[in-house]
Amino acid sequence: MFRIDFNKLRFLVCDDNPHMRRILRTLLHSFGAREVYESEDGATALEMYTHYVPDIVITDWAMPIFDGLELSQMIRQPESKGNPYAPIIMLTGHSEKRRVTVARDAGVTEFLAKPISAKGLYQRILNVVANPRPFIKTKTYFGPDRRRNTSNTYIGAERRVGGEMEVMQQPSLLDKARTSI
Amino acid sequence: MAKPKSADIEIKSFADHHVITQPNPLRKVLRRVPEEDLDDPVARAEKALAGLSGEFKNWMAIESDRLAAAYAAVVKNGFNDVTSEELFRAAHDIKGDAATFGFPSAAAAAESLCRIIEHAPELGDVPPQLITHHINAIQAIVSERTKLDTVSTANELSRKLRGLADQYLVLVNRDRPEHLEAVLAPSIVPAD
Q: What is the pLDDT of residues A30-73, one digit of tens each?
A: 999 999 999 999 999 999 999 999 999 999 998 888 899 999 99
Interface contacts A/B by beta carbons within 8 Å:
214
The confidence score (pLDDT) of residue B33 equals 87
Please, which residues 21-50 of chain B have a Cβ atom closer than 8 Å to chain A?
21-22, 24-26, 28-35, 37, 39, 41-42, 44-49
What's the mean pLDDT when you consider all of chain B?
A: 90
Does A75 or A151 have the greater pLDDT score? A75
pTM of the model: 0.88
Chain B contact set for A97 (CB, 8 A): 185, 187-189
Please tell me the distance from the alpha carbon of residue A89 to that of residue A76, in angstroms, as a whole number.
Answer: 13
Asked whether the beta carbons of residue A111 and residue B190 sit closer than 8 angstroms, the reply is: yes
pLDDT band at B146 (very low <50, low <70, confident <90, very high): low
Phi/psi for B36 (5° steps) reads -85, 10
Give the three-state DSSP class for A133. Answer: coil
Please tell me the distance from the alpha carbon of residue A4 to that of residue A133, in angstroms, as a whole number.
Answer: 18
The confidence score (pLDDT) of residue B36 equals 83
B99's CB contacts (< 8 A; 6+ apart) are A114, A115, B107
**Residues A115 and B2: beta-carbon distance below 8 Å:** no
Highest-scoring range by mean pLDDT, A92-101, A134-143, B126-135, B179-188:
B126-135
pLDDT tens-digit map of B49-95: 999 999 999 999 999 999 999 999 999 999 999 999 999 999 999 99
Please tell me the distance from the alpha carbon of residue A170 to that of residue A172, in angstroms, as a whole number.
Answer: 6
A174 close contact with B: CB closer than 8 A: yes
Please, which residues 5-64 of chain A have a Cβ atom closer than 8 Å to chain B?
5-6, 8-10, 16-17, 19-20, 22-23, 26-27, 29-32, 53-56, 62
Asked whether the beta carbons of residue B96 and residue A115 sit closer than 8 angstroms, the reply is: yes
Please report the sign of the dihedral spanned by the C-alpha atoms of residue A106, residue B192, residue A12, residue A45: positive
Percent of chain B with pLDDT over 90: 71
The number of beta carbons lying within 10 Å of the beta carbon of residue B78 is 11
* Type of residue at B37: D
Mean pLDDT value across residues A117-142 = 94
Please tell me the distance from the alpha carbon of residue A2 to that of residue B30, in angstroms, as a whole number.
Answer: 6
Q: Which residue of B has its CA nearest to A180?
A: B6
Residue A160, pLDDT above cutoff 80: no
